[in-house]
Structure 1
Amino acid sequence: MTTPPRLVPLLEQFDFARTRLADRMAGPVMNSGNGTDVDVVPMTDEEYLWEPVAGCWSVRRRADGPGPGATLLVGAGDWGRDAAPAPHPSPPPFTTIAWRLSHLSELLALRADHTTGSRTLTRDDYRVSADAAGAIAAFDAGATAWRETLLATDDAGLDTVGRSRYPYGSDPENPFVDIVWWVNQELLHHGAEIALIRDLYRHRAAHSGGVEY
């Protein structure tokens, strides 16, 4: 299938943001933005779960129960992601890399399923990763599934209202091209957040009088 011309820049933006985030987490290098490679230390499990402030939302062992302000753990398996039904806490809790990456990977996988898949998956079906390597792999799987969905979209599909039936957003009421734009926005802003938390984690020892690493 030929990619619709108006989808091309959105697909290129998605690919750029996906690669940049994946490289920022896993290394061994990432593009600095000017074509120069910068060394990247792969994300560790400790960093993945690091809580920079008190009261963070994160992913947790189901046996331990939800974190501060959360009332449930969403996801399948032994681990879940902190959550609460609407209305959500205000101001929103600070969330860890684990929380943000799980949320991002889940929305990619579920939107793909609710567009070109079974249209049955829920957050309770999505397995939350307990470790950094598993979370990075889950992100890659979700991004791959969503990209395949984009490649299966023709020009008419971009204008189809409700082509995505993703149940946790306004997808059923919007043309698909708007959802494609929104997913890119989610990937870009959560990717930037994860990168910033990585920077804070790397520099925290220097601010506490330790040796920067």
Structure 2
Amino acid sequence: MEIDWNAEVVEQLHSHWQDRLRPRLDGLTDDELFWLPVSSAQPAENREPVTTIAWRLTHLIEGLGPPTIPHFKPTTAAPPFVDFGSSAREALHQLDEAYEAWIADVRHLGPTGLAQPQGLLSPSPFADFPLARKVMYVHVEVIHHGAEVCLLRDLYAARSSNGASL
């Protein structure tokens, strides 16, 4: 049986996006976007800070890359400045644009493109690794941080009636 690895890699993220993550983001409010889930976002001893949904969406938008430039063609130009949304509506619009551009570029790679070395697209230790590894890393980031966003939405919905943090 011949496997179309490009189709499999695309489907990995696309099905997660369509069926799990993106529907859970519908109705996101500005209050949720900037809600601090603990009384202080400062890290406890030897722990990372607990951050907002806004931070996680920004991280996803950055990880998926700017929608205005090709994702898999090396460039010496500085990446364009991204003014991240100051509202849930703007942030979700930016996330949707970043996702659509990313998944379109992954689709265009094809099996041959996935097998090409990362080269100048990545730091030198990864230059000889196939693009497939970079693509899968980005997909894991979207799945991981997307799950965190969903958890924060659940915690926001379950917070005490006075709106206090946990």
Instruction: Tell me whether the two structures share a fold, i.e. TM-score over 0.5.
Output: yes
Which deviations, in whole Å up to 9, do the C-alpha atoms of 1:79-123 show, x marking residues without a partner? xxxxxxxxxx9522111100001110111024964414856343x
Indicate if the aligned counterparts of 1:159 and 1:175 stay in contact, CA closer than 8 A.
Answer: yes
Equivalence for 2:131: 176
Mark the CA change 1:209 to 1:138 in structure 2 (over 3 Å): closer, same or farther: closer
Mark the CA change 1:177 to 1:117 in structure 2 (over 3 Å): closer, same or farther: same
Indicate if the aligned counterparts of 1:110 and 1:166 stay in contact, CA closer than 8 A.
Answer: no
Among 53, 74, 79, which residue is 1:97 paired with? 53
- Percent identical among aligned pairs is 30
Q: What root-mean-square deviation, in Å, do the aligned CA atoms of Structure 1 and Structure 2 show?
A: 3.0
Equivalence for 1:148: 104
- SS of 1:137's equivalent? helix
Structure 2: gaps (5+ residues): none
Equivalences, count: 159
Equivalence for 1:16: 15
Q: How much has 1:151 moved relative to structure 2?
A: 1.6
Instruction: Write the distance in 2 (CA, Å) between the matches of 1:55 and 1:137.
Output: 29
Which deviations, in whole Å up to 9, do the C-alpha atoms of 1:118-158 show, x marking residues without a partner? 56343x71221111000101110000111111121132211
Q: How much has 1:170 moved relative to structure 2?
A: 6.2
Bigger helix share = 2
Mark the CA change 1:92 to 1:115 in structure 2 (over 3 Å): closer, same or farther: same
Equivalence for 1:43: 28
Mark the CA change 1:13 to 1:164 in structure 2 (over 3 Å): closer, same or farther: farther
Among 102, 116, 120, which residue is 2:77 paired with? 120
Structure 1: gaps (5+ residues): 27-41, 57-67, 70-88
Instruction: Write the distance in 2 (CA, Å) between the matches of 1:194 and 1:158.
Output: 29
Bigger strand share = 1
Instruction: Write the distance in 1 (CA, Å) between the matches of 2:66 and 2:127.
Output: 14
